[in-house]
Amino acid sequence: MESIIKNRFRFFSKIFLLQTSTMIPLAIPSRKFFSKIWKMVRVISQSLNTIFEFSTLCSGLFLSDSQDDVEKKEDSASAQTSGDSTTSTAEGSSQDEQQKAKPETPKPLAAPPRPTVGTPVNRPRIGTPIGTPIGKPATPAAPAPPSQAASKPPAVGAPVQRPSIGTPVGSRPSVGTPIGSRPAAAVGTPAPAAPRPVVSSPTAGRPTTPAKKPESKADISRRNFMRGLMLLGGLVAVLQFGALGPFLQGTVAGKVATTQKIADSITSAPITTASFSTAVQWLTFVYPATGNPNIDADTFRQCVIIKLPAGFTAPASLSASDSTGTYVGFSRVCVHLWCLWSYVPTDMRMECPCHGSQYVPGSGIYPKLPTADNKPPGLAVEGPASLQTPPNNMLPMIKLQINSDSSFTATGVVGVVGCGQDC
């Protein structure tokens, strides 16, 4: 029983670890997130251990009565068997001793009888039927019963009574009828129909259902216990999704069309045109923001706003411009392996620190990277991301607009985060 419970416990533990391992890569790659996940795993593991100990205790309580009954039956059967064997052994030994103690008395031999002189010899008589014992006269045949009075012969000239045509001859015994049985029906009388078996009768040929073997108390309690344990394990497996729900909301999302003002992800201050200067040419923000720090820390919600250098352009539908300059927004997730890239103002390009993929912020002339001249914004021009085929070689862009108070509002995403601009 304990081995079955252990196997069930290991099975549900493996399911939980497998589901947790498949969901962790989609969660937030931050220290707070992993610490919370670790705490949650510890709590659930302790809960499963407590459930296992409680189930082991319950199995002992449920099965104790039935085990005691079985042990008592086995003890009584063994005691009865030993008593019968002892009694039979004692009786056998006492009978052997009595036979040995009795002296053997010789039996006298009986003398054969001798015939008396003059006794006639038993010889068969002439005319005696074969098979009659010698010395006994044959049994005379029983006299025939007196016959009834002979019928008088009809008078000469008297008409003879003959049966009419079609009259049954009479009750004659049928062929094969044993002597002494009732004669068959008269000739021409239809035979009675044989009785038909009742449909519900066992003789109708239907198989009878065997009686169900009565279940013992131990079987019933064990089955109920295993059902309860499986139900409890299923509830624990379902409830863990509810606990991890806040961490899974809004991860790999599709196209988003939420309009909201953007704020600096470091200082939480609204981003305006005055936030940029010669030293500060790019800022990070969360889009779409939910106000939940666990969800807003998701990698797929990290975005960047860049002020393009002088002489660089971008399509009006993908940028926001005023007298201070042109601004573009991008998803910060690299389309190669989803690392977070950074903007390099001195080289006027975006670079991923994981594998060196490089992107251009807008169309213009790049003195340090001639292959990037006049390329559309967000295109990968170097590194493994540039080797990917469209649409997986361009960063998704964030649509921006400048408000009357010089703040920025994000109105949607062009493309799919982690996939590309044209996905």
- pLDDT, tens digit, 9 for 90 and up, residues 366-393: 988 888 999 999 999 999 999 999 889 9
Asked if the model's pLDDT at residue 269 lies above 60, the reply is: yes
User: Which tops the pLDDT comparison, 194 or 184?
Assistant: 194
Put simply, whether the predicted model's pTM sits higher than 0.75 gets the answer: no
Model pLDDT, residue 256: 42
Model pLDDT, residue 250: 47
- Give the pairing of strands 358-359 and 342-344: unpaired
Nearest CA-CA partner of 401 in 196, 262, 287, 206 = 262
Q: Are 261 and 401 in contact (CB under 8 A)?
A: no
Model pLDDT, residue 97: 61
274: CB partners within 8 A, 6+ apart = 406
Q: Where are the alpha helices (DSSP H) in 320-412?
A: none
Instruction: Quick: pLDDT tens for 221-250.
Output: 777 888 888 888 888 888 777 666 655 554
Across the range 124-136, mean pLDDT stands at 67
Q: Which residues pair with 351 in a beta bridge?
A: 342, 358
Instruction: Quick: pLDDT tens for 5-22.
Output: 666 666 666 666 666 555
Asked if the model's pLDDT at residue 349 lies above 80, the reply is: yes
User: Which tops the pLDDT comparison, 357 or 95?
Assistant: 357
Nearest CA-CA partner of 286 in 314, 327, 258, 311 = 258
Is 328 exposed, middle or buried (CB count within 10 Å of its CB: 0-12, 13-18, 19+)?
A: buried
- Radius of gyration of the chain, Cα coordinates, nearest whole angstrom: 57
User: Which tops the pLDDT comparison, 77 or 302?
Assistant: 302
Backbone φ and ψ of 131, nearest 5°:
105, -10
Percent of the chain exceeding pLDDT 90 equals 35
Backbone φ and ψ of 402, nearest 5°:
-95, 125
Asked if the model's pLDDT at residue 337 lies above 80, the reply is: yes
- The pLDDT confidence band at residue 406, using thresholds 50, 70 and 90, is very high
Rounded Cα distance, 93 and 227, in Å? 58
Model pLDDT, residue 335: 95
Dihedral sign for Cα atoms in the order 50, 51, 52, 55: positive
